[in-house]
Amino acid sequence: MTRHDPGMGWPAPAKLNLFLHITGRRPDGYHALQSVFQFLDYGDRLDFRLLDEDRVYAEHVLDGVNHDDDLTVRAALALKAATGYPGGVAIRVHKCLPMGGGLGGGSSDAATVLVALNALWGTGLDDDALADMGLRLGADVPVFVRGHAAWAEGVGEQLKPVSPPEPWYLVVHPGVMVPTAAIFSDPGLTRDCSSITIADFLAGRAGNVCEPIVCQRFPEVAKALEWLQDQGVMARMTGTGSCVFGVFETEDAARAACEHLPKVWAGFVAQGCNASPLHRHRKQLRVISALQE
């Protein structure tokens, strides 16, 4: 049997916020949210080359991100510091997800580093410890570490697994980058949503409160949403944008709409998944490694 290299091809899936409400503001200025996170069967891919020497570095270059600020490097250093692991790693991200698009690519990359290196280095932390470590890197990291679609509260760290339908999505990137901090500090943002339940969400009594603010500031986002609505489907923005998604019953319907997407925008079709591709990959590797022993 050919030996599979366990460091290659780790998925870092995108997420969608199926809705996003703000219920208040915490003393530290951060906003208390309610949201549902669902993963997509689409995202970045990471390769890891383990090093005997005490060195962590990225082999990729991301537009506008300094090497030491790269969330993959920071995640690996955090795991090394917490466990005292003496060796190192060279990390390569094959980037597919647009940055600053509300698809959580940076957070997902960081979560994949924590989960993958914990397995490859044999550092033995459980997912609770990895999620705590992830929260210090970004509010969206814990959901990617836990690996199940979730009802989220707090700043996104209080997570309850949920299993909404898994439709096909056409995700459209309207070609602009939305600065999260600017949207959260907009005076017009609705910050006093009453708390809702999962049943309210499933009955369609939920939306994205950032959407009107982003649409006002970035007309391309409004245009992309209108275009999706014109395809006759439910359309919404994810997170603080800029990406928007349309919900389709079948892959064929989503792909047919994608074919007509105006060329000025980028788009992709993906299925929603409640179990993260990252965790499916980890499980497969465990099976392969048991077979090879």
Among ligand ADP, ligand SUD, none, what does residue 72 contact (CB within 5–8 Å per kind)?
ligand ADP
Closest CA to 36 of 245, 222, 187, 188: 245
Nearest distance from C-beta of residue 97 to ligand ADP, angstroms: 6
Using rule CB under 6 A, residue 134 touches ligand ADP: no
| Closest to ligand ADP by CB, 76 or 222 | 76
**Is 54 annotated as catalytic?**
no
Q: Give the strand pairing for 88-94 and 56-58.
A: parallel
| 12: helix, strand or coil | strand
* Binding residues for ligand SUD (CB under 6 A): 17, 30-31, 33, 102, 104, 138-140, 155-156, 180-181, 184, 239-240
Helices in the chain by DSSP H: which ranges?
A: 71-83, 105-120, 127-135, 141-146, 180-184, 198-202, 211-217, 219-230, 251-259, 277-292
- Residues 36-65, interacting with ligand ADP (CB under 6 A): 62, 64-65
**Is 63 annotated as catalytic?**
no
CA–CA distance, 221 with 226 (Å, rounded to integer): 9
| Closest to ligand SUD by CB, 172 or 253 | 172
Among ligand ADP, ligand SUD, none, what does residue 223 contact (CB within 5–8 Å per kind)?
none
The residue with tokens 């390569």 is 92
- Could you say which of 15, 41, 44, 109 is catalytic? 15
One of 70, 78, 215, 267 touching ligand ADP (CB under 6 A): 70
The string of DSSP letters for 139-194 reads TTHHHHHH-B-EEEEETTTEEEE------EEEEEE-S----HHHHHT-TTS---PP
Q: Is the dihedral of CA 179, 277, 76, 159 positive or negative?
A: positive
Q: Where are the beta strands (DSSP E) in 4-59?
A: 10-25, 31-51, 56-58
Count the residues of the shown chain that bind ligand ADP, applying the rule CB under 6 A. Answer: 20
- Could you say which of 95, 140, 230, 283 is catalytic? 140
Nearest distance from C-beta of residue 208 to ligand SUD, angstroms: 10
Residues annotated within the binding site are 98-108
| Closest to ligand SUD by CB, 156 or 272 | 156
| 16: helix, strand or coil | strand
Using rule CB under 6 A, residue 102 touches ligand ADP: yes
CA–CA distance, 7 with 231 (Å, rounded to integer): 41
Stretch that binds ligand ADP, among 99-107, 141-149, 186-194, 197-205 (CB under 6 A): 99-107
Nearest distance from C-beta of residue 214 to ligand SUD, angstroms: 10
Residues annotated within the binding site for ATP are 98-108
Closest CA to 61 of 32, 92, 83: 92
- The catalytic site residues sit at 15, 140
- Which residue ranges make up the site for ligand ADP (CB under 6 A)? 62, 64-65, 69-72, 93, 97, 99-107, 109, 239
